[in-house]
Amino acid sequence: MSETKRAYNILRSFVNQEWERVKGIDVADAWRELDSPVATTPEAPANSTLDTPTAGMESNELEATARTILNVTAKASFDEVRKAFEKINQRVQPQNFESGSEEGKFAQDLLRKSTWAYQYLTKDMSPSQRRFRSLEIE
């Protein structure tokens, strides 16, 4: 089988899977999900070195802290911020660490911080914009 035919078959199976998934979705449920707010995560504990910022900090300090956590520049676009967040998020998933280990606790702390930083840097966007801008559709 040629590579082109194989790629075509893989793409066709993916499209068919998505079509089956979409056919089963109730339109009213989909609109409710899009309009519902995105759940937030709790703040990081106060004993960590890069704490979740407090209300006493100025907005430019908060933004600098958020960008430091995600390791993005001041001129980073939404896509760069999202990719940096996803990269950290993939690395610190709880299933990657033994439960109760020091590495696991550090990963949970880092996940809380990165989630806060992502939410802070995208606070001006509506939840629907965040979800749809994250889709990689061309």
pLDDT digit string (tens) for 12-41?
Answer: 888 888 777 777 777 777 677 666 655 444
What is the token pair recorded at 74?
């001041």
d(CA 7, CA 79): 27
Going from the C-alpha of 35 to that of each of 60, 102, 127, 130, the distances in angstroms are: 30, 38, 8, 12
Q: Please report the pLDDT score of residue 10 as a whole number.
A: 86
Of 3-7, 43-47, 63-67, 89-93, the range with the lowest mean pLDDT is: 43-47
Going from the C-alpha of 95 to that of each of 48, 98, 105, 116, the distances in angstroms are: 22, 7, 12, 21
Q: Which residues, in sequence order, are CB contacts of 66 under 8 Å at separation 6+?
A: 116, 117, 118, 120, 121
Q: Please report the pLDDT score of residue 44 as a whole number.
A: 41
Which letter does DSSP use for residue 76 in this model?
-
Q: What is the pTM of this model?
A: 0.54
Average pLDDT, the chain: 76
* Burial grade of 101 (CB within 10 A; 0-12, 13-18, 19 or more): exposed
